Every structure is written in structure tokens, then in C-alpha cells.
Amino acid sequence: MAEYITHEHDVLIIGAGGAGLRAAVEASAAGVTAAVISKSLLGKAHTVMAEGGVAAAMGNVDDRDNWRVHFSDTMRGGQYLNMQRDFGGHRYARLAHVGDRTGLEMIRTLQDHGIHLGLDVFMEHTVVTLLKDGERIAGAFGYDRERGRFHLFRAKAVVLATGGIGRAYKITSNSWEYTGDGHALAYDAGAALMDMEFVQFHPTGMIWPPSVRGILVTEGVRGEGGVLRNKDGERFMFKDIPPLYVNQTASSEEEGWRYTQGDKNARRPPELLTRDHVARCIMREVKAGRGSPHGGVFSLPTLT
């Protein structure tokens, strides 16, 4: 019996989240053979945790919104360094969503379409190294987690869609697969890694009791009027509004509440500033001794 099982495809995608499945669907639609390798079961990728929605400046909720405003928000939210953006910090309501299961429905749609196109899926397989032919990538080598058998994947092109590094942190909403595999695979193959400091932190999640630690609290909670308070009951986000956002941020709790209720003449509350800023403000309160007993702050609904 051979020491490993060999597979051949035109395109090999490592990672079966939203990005990986979308790449696989596009490759299959182009008429090439494609395969996806997933560390877990198909449909269990961390994309399912995208509860809040996807930003889309369609203007159907607020007619003042358009792609130019969205682009401006993107650049401003990234401090003019990046080209990606979260939905805390959007000037207008522009989140397309399916209840609180947007990511789950995205995954279901992509995987169903991919299987329909004839996509090969290798579930519960872990890739340990990329293979090279001279200076080009020629495939990957790994093993199946259930039986421990080795697998060699030959491919003309390899796409790394392995997600982030969230499991490097003590408390994280990221699933167990997020261990930086893709970074390591690329680095070992000779790639230069850049912008490693650009790790996005979702500001709100459960930290206590231990049974719920790491569960994400969607930004939609704050979008519906939820507020952040320190141990003294102070709504601390009003203390630190970046100059770039002063003219777009509510000057009072009352104005912020009106925004969450759909008042177009009101400005958004500071809890809906960008994730990086909200996360820094939370940590400032914790380090100053104004945090919760278990090292966070309190996310509370606004009662009327």
C-alpha cells in the first residue's frame, strides 16, 4: 500500500470558509477542476459567526447612502491605511443580513452551489506543508484527521483561505481552526508576510461565566441601542471621540438613541464608532481599574 494517497486538481483551495468556498465556486464555474480542504466539517467554518450582516450601500434604507459614502467610510475607518471595513463606523444603516445568521446562510448557499458544480471536498484534513517545484507552488501535503492517512495534493494553483490567528488569544470568539495555519504555510514556502499588526478585534463578546466565554455579541446589539458602561455606570465612549468623527457622532445620549430608532436628523452614538477605537476605549477603562470584575465592561440595552 502506498504511503500516501495522491489527488490531482487544477486549483486547490485550503480553507472552507466564505472566502475559500467563493474561490472554489469561481474556479469550478471557469471549467477547471477544483478541490477544497477543510480542517473541520463542511459548513462549520468560522464564517457562520458573521451574525450581523454584510455592508452594502444600496440606499434602500437611507437614500443619502451610496458607494461614494461607503468608500469614504472605508478609508476613514482604516485611518487611510486599509481597504476593509466593519459595520461599526458606517455613516448610514447599510447592513444586508438574514436575521442573526447571515454567515450561516452564506456558507450554506456557497457549499450547495459548489457541490452542484462538482467541487471535491476533503473534510477533516489538515495541511502541514506546501509543495514546490523549483520556485513555484505545485501542491500540498497533509493528513486526514479521522484515520491519520497522508494525502498528497497536486495542483497547478493553490489558494490559501485559512482564516486568521484568533486562537492565539486567551479569550476569542474564533473557532478552533483559527491557528494561523495559512500564515505558517506561506512563510515556510518563502512568502513575505506583511501588515501582521493589522489584527481586527471585535469589541464585544462574553467573558463570564466560563461556560459562555468567547461567544460573540454582535454589533447589531449596539446598532439597536445597546450601550457600553464601566463599573461606575458611566457611558465612557462619549469621553473619546476621534476628531475625524466628531461631526458624525451624537453629542448626547438622547441624540444617540434617536439615531438607533431611525431618526435621520440624529447622529450615531459613539458605541458605533470603528471596532479598533471601541476596543481601545474598552481596554483603557479596564487598565484604569474601571472595568468589570472579570476584566471587561458592561454591554447593556437601553430601556425606554
Whether 147 is a known active-site residue: answer no
pLDDT of res. 152: 97
- Summarize the confidence of residues 175-189 as an average pLDDT: 92
Higher pLDDT among residues 79 and 262, named by residue: 262
Higher pLDDT among residues 110 and 91, named by residue: 110
CA 78 to CA 90: how far, in whole Å?
12
pLDDT of res. 118: 83
Residue 43 above 60 pLDDT?
Answer: yes
Residue % of the chain over a pLDDT of 90: 54
User: Using CA of residue 24, residue 25, residue 30, residue 33, what is the dihedral sign?
Assistant: positive
Structural domains in the chain plus CATH codes: 4-49+101-188 (3.50.50.60), 54-90 (no CATH), 201-304 (3.90.700)
Reading the block at residue 123, the C-alpha cell is 473534510
Tell me how crowded residue 63 is: count the other CB atoms within 10 A of its CB. Answer: 9
Instruction: Report the 3 state secondary structure along the chain.
Output: CCCEEEEEEEEEEECCCHHHHHHHHHHHHCCCCEEEECCCCCCCCHHHHCCCCEECCCCCCCCCCCHHHHHHHHHHHCCCCCCCCCCCCCCCCCEECCCCCHHHHHHHHHHHHHHHCCCEEECCEEEEEEEEECCEEEEEEEEECCCCCEEEEEEEEEEECCCCCHHHCCCCCCCCCCCCHHHHHHHHCCCCCCCCCCCCCCCCECCCCHHHCCCECCCHHHHCCCEEECCCCCCHHHHCCCHHHHHHECCCHHHHHHHHCCCCCCCECHHHCCHHHHHHHHHHHHHCCCCCCCCCCEEECCCC
Higher pLDDT among residues 51 and 144, named by residue: 144
pLDDT of res. 86: 38
- The tens digit of pLDDT for each residue in 197-241 reads 888 888 999 999 999 999 888 888 888 899 999 999 999 999 999
Residue 34 above 50 pLDDT?
Answer: yes
C-alpha 223: how far from its chain's center?
18
Question: How confident is residue 51, by pLDDT bands cut at 50, 70 and 90?
Answer: low
Higher pLDDT among residues 91 and 126, named by residue: 126
CA 228 to CA 300: how far, in whole Å?
6
- Summarize the confidence of residues 176-192 as an average pLDDT: 93
Tell me how crowded residue 217 is: count the other CB atoms within 10 A of its CB. Answer: 16
pLDDT of res. 302: 66
Reading the block at residue 82, the C-alpha cell is 486599509
CA 33 to CA 120: how far, in whole Å?
8
- What is the rounded average pLDDT for all residues in the chain? 87
- Summarize the confidence of residues 83-90 as an average pLDDT: 48
Residue 22 above 60 pLDDT?
Answer: yes
**CA proximity to 203, closest of 176, 223, 183, 175:** 223
Cis peptide leading into 209, omega within 30 of 0?
Answer: yes
Sheet containing 120-122: order of strands: 120-122, 34-37, 4-14, 150-160, 136-144, 125-133
Residue % of the chain over a pLDDT of 70: 88
CA 136 to CA 36: how far, in whole Å?
20
pLDDT of res. 80: 64
Question: How confident is residue 83, by pLDDT bands cut at 50, 70 and 90?
Answer: very low
pLDDT of res. 55: 74
Tell me how crowded residue 292 is: count the other CB atoms within 10 A of its CB. Answer: 16
pLDDT of res. 114: 82
Kindly name the residue from 91, 94, 222, 275 that is annotated as catalytic. 275
- The tens digit of pLDDT for each residue in 119-171 reads 899 999 999 999 999 999 999 999 999 999 999 999 999 999 998 898 999 88
CA 257 to CA 192: how far, in whole Å?
46
- Summarize the confidence of residues 77-81 as an average pLDDT: 67
